Amino acid sequence: MQSGWRVGSLFGIPLFIDLSWVLILTLFMLHNGWVWRGRYPEWGVETAWLTGFLSTLLLFASVLLHELAHSLVAKAHGIEEIAISLFLFGGSTSAEEALKRPSQILQVAIAGPAVSLGLAAGLSLLTLVLPHTASPLKVLTANLATMNWVVALFNLIPGLPLDGGQILKAIIWQWTGDQLWAIRLSAKVGELLGGLAISFGIADILNLPGVPFSQFFDGWWMALLGWFGWQSARAYQPITELQEALLKTLAAAAMTGEFRIVPVEMSLANFAREYLTKLEPPMYLATQGDRYQGIVVPEGLNEIERSQWEHESIEGILHPDSARAATHTTANLAQVIQLMEAYQLIQIPVLSPAGALLGVIDRGDIVRILAHKLNIRISDSMIQQIKADGIYPPGFRLSAIAQTLET
Ligand SMILES: [Zn+2]
């Protein structure tokens, strides 16, 4: 989740703050100030409110330290595109998708709760050694210790999208070697726990008997937390379905014959005369016999003196990464997408195991077959538009999702 205002950055990591976070901090401040004003009349009104304000600033700092720990560990693993968002239920760090190894996910997930637990333990000790009077400092320290215990333990609940869910996912993935199964199971646990929280919350609101631990929570808050958890956990389902389709669909099923073969010996002059007069030139692929040689880059002609066109062949204008920027029929779509992004190609050639050219795939072909597999209706005109533009429409996060897969 990345919403709200960008308020700055820490260690080069952008920080976003949502309106809901400002609201929750304000409520927290009013609550503490109000309670302390009544409980400790000897402090005086100003001190009670000031302590409430300080407790809010320190809670903000605690949650920020928790998120910063996630981000810095992710950064240490080479993840560059991270951001911290603070919203209603605390924070989130957007590194989840970029991490490709269970051990990395585990380290990043543990870092946040570890910092919160450390803060909670340290502050609890400090509370114990402070003089046994209800001084603002002692009350503030005790309050902050409690809040850090809450942040740590809440985040360790073992269901996605919480840190505990990430830890569960990493452990299952490490154990079974099955990334998708690990995500599915941890998301299911998240859904189940969210559902339970909603039921407990509603039961508490209705004052039903037998609700466990009901003295420790507020029904409305519990139901809201549960609903948030349930929604977020369910959001994993369409993504895992897409991930599965990306892994199980092979290039052979997606490729088309939308290309023209030109012999690699052809002179640049002939190539320019015969092909470049076309209004919508297709993809030109050079072959020698039936062996694929490379992708022709017609723009390369501009780099070569016109007087040389008769003497030079199209070999001189092949894509420099041609040999590597080709896929084979048994590659899955996640690999195809990763390769297209890596070489910034609009289309990618598909070869047989023996190196013969069999077809090409573009982003429109990928969207078309995925839509078919996932029973999503996408109009033909949209597919044609994707083919023409060579980019996925806004909101299609295919390249980001393909990057999350270990292929
Ligand atoms: Zn966390």
Residue 162 falls within a domain, yes or no?
no
Whether residues 352 and 377 share a domain: the answer is yes
> Lowest-confidence range among 57-66, 176-185, 216-225?
216-225
The stretch 291-309 carries a mean pLDDT of 86
The encoded tokens of residue 92 equal: 């989130």
Contact between residue 88 and residue 24 where contact means Cβ atoms under 8 Å apart: yes
User: Which stretches of 303-404 are assigned E, i.e. beta strand?
Assistant: 327-328, 347-351, 357-362
Q: Between the ranges 75-79, 119-123, 370-374, where is the mean pLDDT highest?
A: 119-123
Whether residues 207 and 353 share a domain: the answer is no
Among residues 234, 268, 283, the one where a domain terminates is 234
Residue 240 falls within a domain, yes or no?
no
Q: Which residues line ion ligand 1, judged by CB < 5 Å?
A: 112, 155, 163
Angstrom distance (rounded) from CA 304 to CA 306: 6
Q: Which residue among the candidates 67, 81, 274, 280 is catalytic per the annotation?
A: 67
Round to the nearest angstrom and report the end-to-end CA distance of the chain: 26
Is the pLDDT higher at 219 or at 178?
Answer: 178
Is 67 marked active-site?
yes
In the chain, pLDDT over 90 holds for what percent of residues?
A: 35
Strand, helix or coil at 265? coil
Whether residues 4 and 128 share a domain: the answer is yes
Among residues 234, 259, 291, the one where a domain terminates is 234
Instruction: Kindly give the distance from the C-alpha atom of residue 82 to the centroid of ligand 1, in angstroms, as a whole number.
Output: 14
Taking 50 as the threshold, does the pLDDT of residue 1 lie above it? no
Phi and psi based region of residue 289 (left: phi greater than 0; alpha: psi -120 to 50; beta: remaining): left
Instruction: Kindly give the distance from the C-alpha atom of residue 303 to the centroid of ligand 1, in angstroms, as a whole number.
Output: 52
Whether residues 99 and 193 share a domain: the answer is no
Whether residues 270 and 206 share a domain: the answer is no
Looking at residue 131, the DSSP 8-state letter turns out to be -
Instruction: Kindly give the distance from the C-alpha atom of residue 110 to the centroid of ligand 1, in angstroms, as a whole number.
Output: 8
* Sole residue written with tokens 């997606």: 254
Angstrom distance (rounded) from CA 242 to CA 88: 29
Whether residues 220 and 183 share a domain: the answer is yes
Look at residue 200 in the predicted model and tell me its pLDDT. 87
Q: Between the ranges 37-46, 108-117, 266-275, 367-376, where is the mean pLDDT highest?
A: 108-117
The residues, ordered by sequence, that sit 6+ positions from 254 with a Cβ below 8 Å of its Cβ are 333, 336, 361, 365, 366, 368, 369
Residue 163 falls within a domain, yes or no?
no
> Lowest-confidence range among 1-5, 101-105, 231-235?
1-5
Angstrom distance (rounded) from CA 350 to CA 218: 59
Whether residues 139 and 23 share a domain: the answer is yes
Mean pLDDT of the chain: 87
Angstrom distance (rounded) from CA 11 to CA 139: 32
Residue 243 falls within a domain, yes or no?
no
Angstrom distance (rounded) from CA 135 to CA 133: 6
Whether residues 354 and 219 share a domain: the answer is no
Tallying the residues shown for the chain, one arrives at 407
Domain, as residue range, for 35? 1-156
The DSSP element (H or E) to which 285 belongs, if any, is: strand 283-288
Whether residues 345 and 301 share a domain: the answer is yes
Strand, helix or coil at 252? helix
Whether residues 266 and 151 share a domain: the answer is no
CA angle 190, 165, 192 (to 5 degrees): 15
At how many degrees (to 10) do helices 179-205 and 163-176 cross? 150
Q: Residue 308 sits in a domain of what CATH number?
A: 3.10.580.10
Angstrom distance (rounded) from CA 336 to CA 326: 9
Domain count, the chain: 3
Closest Cα partner for 93 from 103, 101, 107? 107
Residue 161 falls within a domain, yes or no?
no
| Sequence letter at residue 116 | S
Angstrom distance (rounded) from CA 345 to CA 342: 8
The stretch 267-295 carries a mean pLDDT of 83
Whether residues 192 and 281 share a domain: the answer is no
The encoded tokens of residue 56 equal: 């809010």
In this prediction, residue 93 has a pLDDT band, given cuts at 50, 70 and 90, of low
In the chain, pLDDT over 70 holds for what percent of residues?
A: 94
Among residues 156, 180, 206, the one where a domain terminates is 156
Instruction: Kindly give the distance from the C-alpha atom of residue 66 to the centroid of ligand 1, in angstroms, as a whole number.
Output: 6
Instruction: Kindly give the distance from the C-alpha atom of residue 386 to the centroid of ligand 1, in angstroms, as a whole number.
Output: 37
Residue 241 falls within a domain, yes or no?
no
Angstrom distance (rounded) from CA 196 to CA 165: 16
Closest Cα partner for 194 from 230, 167, 154, 232? 230
The residues, ordered by sequence, that sit 6+ positions from 248 with a Cβ below 8 Å of its Cβ are 332
Residue 34 falls within a domain, yes or no?
yes
Whether residues 143 and 218 share a domain: the answer is no
pLDDT digits (tens, 9 = 90+) for 131-167: 878 888 999 999 999 999 999 998 999 988 889 999 9
